[in-house]
Chain A
């Protein structure tokens, strides 16, 4: 294997390791103690964190007040303009569900595929998933005409003997979202157990120690526990994997099962899944890049990791772009005048701006990631991730609004514009998500301590030659700034 390391130095200078394999090293991380110390150090609250939390809660309160007002007045305070019966809330719903997808993809699928670059970012992505699904789950309730009756959508035995309509994709949504929330939060929690045990061992405050003690389920770091843990983790990863595909497929059925031009398409499930992964990775960048800077974790979340994630981002972007083009092709090939007319209206008619925001942000801008230099430029990645978030929000806008406003009946063609209430609730959803995430990163490690330790050189092994000399010297890493790993 040392020959492999040598081979990686090519004629054009040093080449990067195969980061899609397990060979992702953290050259600046040398000991278990360093890992534990540095990661636990991130849990100390700072003034900036309190400020951020305050902003998040303020946003949440704004959204909550707007929702209360909306419940009191009626949905008319939002921007709905029939026949645009679904608006910003469903856009937000699909947007947040989509964001919730990358987490499980990274933590579960990449785990199964042994993609090593996931190790340092998966915890962050998985937490993002849980909170994004929690956020997304609010919106179907938020958008109901009578939100206090939301439980009628849930299938439970009742004396009225009335069951939900199992033909309705909205009922499938209920099952899909609740299943996904359950499994992904379980997965997150199970992965956290060894780390919580570490926290417990370091905790001095008796109450917190007790709480961590309960949460760690009495983890004692025994071989037996590790064996069970590994089995459970593998099982949950395998169990989550089909959910990644199914949940957004089910969400896409909300649209694909309807007869609305622009919705009624078989391409929707794969298209939505790809879009969801794309948007999720975008959101991971938005979150992880500031965290690695502010928490001094650059030597954990290395440029190699980001580079690999950016390649996944690029790939899903191209899948999404292909889906866009396929939609147009199908519309043309269908020969259906209604469908064709709708797509022309989408890109050249009243909604051209939204469609071009979507295409630019999701298809063209991510093409910059073909450049390795930009893949390793965290500033660009961060800016790009904001564009991806915007573009993916507009993708859902473009799917929902132009379709509903330009259906079969020309007499009922209409326009749509959100109101202040719509935006307040959108803001509130970011507040809700950010609040949970901020609380999370100061209570529990944002990087999996136990898993990182698996890839740092074990103290006993440093003297031995196991085929890999992990010293950090055999591969030259490009740092984006001098002293990147210092």
Chain B
């Protein structure tokens, strides 16, 4: 020990130094916070709000002209969900997919974030001060030049005080009144209604009718007040055996047409010939043989079918006849139908002009818009304002709106989005989103629907009315009553009763009365059209077809195309998303050697052509093809640009885009074009969610056929053919106590009826047993959670759902509601496709909109299956079954025992629960699910740094804070909105009470405009669902698999023609 050995390594002190330094460095790095994430947007929250607890604001939806009432759920300053306002006279609590998706307009990542001005040919951001200065200057120049009278203001159609204010502002500026545009408005029908009844839109009583005949009126798609019509129609059909029968007349079976019991497939434009034949028949007091023969010849419909139609209409009183074809003779058709309704005694019974709907009052007919375009083309127009409309997209290109618009020296857009029109403008003054704005609407006379801001503006936008007020003040022009400075003050001053009344009314979102100074605008009454001879539909040569262009029922006039929820929502009829397609009849397709997905070159008469994939569709005439309008934007943000094609581009000349009707009261005629088809080289996988459109006898969507005398018989597609008695509306009311009366009706023999023994699910032998705790009724001594004796009482409940297929119209509003409630990612946007790597193996899957959907990777927790029965030979006589399919929450769930890590298990209250954090992604559960309702996160849709992120800023502001956003590699599925269940339970517990039956419901059921979905506790007889589950129509899908599902379907009811010759012609069943 005398000598210290020479050390070669690290000395002790050095070691300690290094240890200390590295330790400190590591610790310091570990302290870094990285990205600061704010859990709560408010640092200091407003007085009335509690962080984490929602506030609700009643306001008005402005996605279409209907102006339904909505209630916005606002959590910590952000609007997260829209639901229908139950008190609103129009939508009565329901809300369609477009209304739900308004949120994605509010948070659209491609919205203008502030004012923009054109500099050097490009729109560049500017400040509001500079923008206003420019606006005032250019308005002043126009007025000084004396040309203000030629100015144009193209406004989105809306009723209420803004429209009135706008006209007063324009007149103060010396400008003509604004054009109130809605490209989907049935202006021809409105004009006819004004002539016939003096009002634009009567309310319709579907329930009172015994027969509904629609002449191309798609009242479930886009025709008129769709939501109230759907509510009433579903209610009428819920009368089951005594419900009105429905006949649809038109060249293509739309969603409305698929809901009809019979389809009369007439040639485009020949609806009028049929209507006239009926009219002359009615005059003749029966059948007018000659005119029926003539109509049959013109329409391509067998005379016998028309004869029977005439007889049926004569025998069914009251009936309800509706006109709505978008043809050149739409006005004549509407007038003829009105007079038919009159002569049949329907007016007052089913058509009620005395209680009109005023949402559409004042819509500008297409003729006026065309005249305005011509004025712009002539160079007279010094300044054009555009607000909320996109005519560069919605007007057929043959009109060359863009060319005319370009000749206007100064173009101002108040648009929120970079659409085709606003991208051409010189100044963009982005408006608030309707959910950020004050306003009002007049849905029905005597009621004001209020619109209020639900949150602070997302971006640096200003409400147009304020911009106009400021412009007037800066320009030294007085507008409105007195010296109000803001639109809000002006708006309040117009409210009867002022601020106090407004404050009192805002919680309901409605107030009685009418606005002071509401516009009394009414277009000049057009001269009564002289009945012009019908342009005879010509025979089509091979490869030469009629073209029907119809508005997409989910994208509307194309304004929905920038909302991924709507792009992702499969078209209710064709089930295609993110694409434009051309519909071809199966026999025609076979003749031309075309299959679904083949690229077809559709050429218009002027040589304009588009290339789209074919979709072989049973519900279209053999001499007709159809395309949906709504996609094909060349601008309008990442979700809309270059997605699909615009079929209006095919109209080559003004004559194809001619205005309907002789009087100028109509809209654009979209269904008179003729096109030729040519198969081009290539194939495009359709982004469709449809596998097989046939049930193969598996009894998924079952139906009964209503027979004479109020009985019903099992329809095709089921397994049995016994006759059963109806149980009336809401079967339960008459069927309670259910079992007994069902037995009396002989219902025991019906498929699904055996299920009554275990319907409440608690009696299922295995319902509570996924964990193995109480197998076969053996309860552990201490009583686990699955024991009915457990203190939590959870096992006493069985959450369940009934879906009434007699009500469901297939509109798919439930799907979008589910996306909104449960943070479901959309997967089809072009940027979400996996570029490059999978291209060679699977052409058509990559870099294209909807490529993930081509692979079946859509995430919709609830989907609308659409099955056909009949029509295999290509005839028009087939029946459609819409089946909403979601997790069935099986009592004996096949998915549960196969999960190796317990990520899915059974909750004591009957839910099939998925634990995302536990899931490792074996996907065995999905393989074993007979219903195929489990969805996998193939990519990081929920992870912001991933290419496939579904909610680019600020779209993620919409996310529901109560629901986890799922990461990649985990399975997800319908939870029965477990967050709503638990919230209701907690609320009840906090209030020291038990749940009240029907106290809450799930998102899909809440939104459903048909009231087809009912949710609740099947183990408690107080809930509606427990009663409905006892209905004689109840059945489970695949009950032979002993899954003991919690979702109970009620059979659809079909209404064939009843009569001696009915069978010969076929009745749609």
A contacts, CB < 8 Å to B: 69, 73-77, 79-86, 140, 143-147, 149-150, 152-153, 162-165, 167-171, 174, 254, 257-260, 337-338, 341, 404, 407-414, 417-423
Q: Are A77 and B902 in contact (CB under 8 A)?
A: no
Question: A residues within 8 A CB of B935?
Answer: 82
26 A-B pairs with CB atoms under 8 Å apart are A76-B834, A76-B855, A76-B948, A77-B837, A79-B842, A81-B857, A82-B855, A85-B923, A85-B924, A144-B922, A144-B969, A145-B920, A145-B937, A145-B968, A152-B920, A259-B894, A338-B698, A408-B1038, A409-B930, A409-B931, A411-B689, A413-B691, A417-B842, A420-B837, A420-B838, A421-B838
Distance in angstroms between the alpha carbons of A358 and B10 in the assembled complex: 66
Q: Are B939 and A170 in contact (CB under 8 A)?
A: no
8 Å CB contact of A79 from B691, B838, B885? B838
8 Å CB contact of A337 from B694, B698, B946? B698
Distance in angstroms between the alpha carbons of A169 and B894 in the assembled complex: 13
B841 at the interface (CB under 8 A from A): yes
CB proximity of B240 to chain A, nearest CB, Å: 26
CB proximity of A410 to chain B, nearest CB, Å: 4
Q: Are A83 and B856 in contact (CB under 8 A)?
A: yes
Q: Are A420 and B840 in contact (CB under 8 A)?
A: yes
Question: A residues within 8 A CB of B842?
Answer: 79, 417, 419
CB proximity of A140 to chain B, nearest CB, Å: 8
Q: Are B919 and A146 in contact (CB under 8 A)?
A: yes
Interface residues in B867-906 by Cβ distance below 8 A to A read: 867, 883, 885, 894, 897-902
Q: How many pairs of residues, A versus B, come closer than 8 Å at their CB atoms?
A: 197
**With A74-B940, A81-B855 as given contacts, are A411 and B690 in contact (CB-CB < 8 Å)?**
yes
Q: Are B857 and A76 in contact (CB under 8 A)?
A: yes
B contacts, CB < 8 Å to A: 689-698, 700, 772, 834, 837-838, 840-842, 852, 855-857, 863, 865, 867, 883, 885, 894, 897-902, 918-924, 926-932, 935-940, 946-948, 968-971, 1038, 1041
Most chain A beta-carbon contacts within 10 A, residue among B856, B883, B919, B1038: B856
Most chain A beta-carbon contacts within 10 A, residue among B885, B921, B926, B971: B921
**With A75-B936, A85-B927, A145-B936 as given contacts, are A409 and B691 in contact (CB-CB < 8 Å)?**
yes
Question: A residues within 8 A CB of B863?
Answer: 411
**With A83-B926, A420-B837 as given contacts, are A145 and B900 in contact (CB-CB < 8 Å)?**
no
8 Å CB contact of B932 from A82, A150, A257, A423? A82
Q: Are A149 and B920 in contact (CB under 8 A)?
A: yes
Q: Are A168 and B932 in contact (CB under 8 A)?
A: no
Q: Are A74 and B968 in contact (CB under 8 A)?
A: yes
Q: B701's closest neighbor in chain A, by CB?
A: A411
8 Å CB contact of A259 from B834, B902, B946, B1041? B1041
Q: Are B867 and A411 in contact (CB under 8 A)?
A: yes
Which A-B residue pairs are the 4 nearest by beta carbons? A145-B921, A145-B969, A76-B938, A413-B691
Question: A residues within 8 A CB of B883?
Answer: 411
8 Å CB contact of A75 from B852, B929, B969? B969
**With A81-B856, A164-B901 as given contacts, are A409 and B936 in contact (CB-CB < 8 Å)?**
no
Distance in angstroms between the alpha carbons of A421 and B932 in the assembled complex: 25
Q: Are B700 and A409 in contact (CB under 8 A)?
A: yes
Distance in angstroms between the alpha carbons of A414 and B691 in the assembled complex: 6
Question: A residues within 8 A CB of B969?
Answer: 74-75, 144-146
Q: A413's closest neighbor in chain B, by CB?
A: B691
Question: B residues within 8 A CB of A257?
Answer: 898
Distance in angstroms between the alpha carbons of A259 and B114 in the assembled complex: 57
Distance in angstroms between the alpha carbons of A73 and B840 in the assembled complex: 18
Q: Are A419 and B841 in contact (CB under 8 A)?
A: yes
8 Å CB contact of B921 from A144, A162, A165, A259? A144
CB proximity of A306 to chain B, nearest CB, Å: 38
8 Å CB contact of B898 from A169, A407, A421? A169
**With A411-B692, A420-B840 as given contacts, are A145 and B698 in contact (CB-CB < 8 Å)?**
no
Distance in angstroms between the alpha carbons of A81 and B693 in the assembled complex: 18
Distance in angstroms between the alpha carbons of A411 and B920 in the assembled complex: 27
Question: A residues within 8 A CB of B689?
Answer: 411
Q: Are A410 and B692 in contact (CB under 8 A)?
A: yes
8 Å CB contact of B901 from A165, A169, A408, A419? A165
CB proximity of A65 to chain B, nearest CB, Å: 11
Distance in angstroms between the alpha carbons of A153 and B924 in the assembled complex: 13
Question: B residues within 8 A CB of A140?
Answer: 922
Q: Are A153 and B920 in contact (CB under 8 A)?
A: yes
CB proximity of A422 to chain B, nearest CB, Å: 8
Q: B923's closest neighbor in chain A, by CB?
A: A85
Question: A residues within 8 A CB of B920?
Answer: 144-147, 149-150, 152-153
Q: Are B897 and A167 in contact (CB under 8 A)?
A: yes
8 Å CB contact of A258 from B837, B885, B927? B927
Known: A85-B924, A162-B902, A170-B922. 20 other contacts (CB 8 A): A74-B937, A74-B938, A76-B938, A76-B948, A82-B856, A82-B857, A82-B936, A83-B927, A140-B922, A145-B922, A146-B921, A153-B920, A162-B918, A258-B928, A259-B894, A259-B930, A408-B931, A409-B930, A420-B837, A422-B841
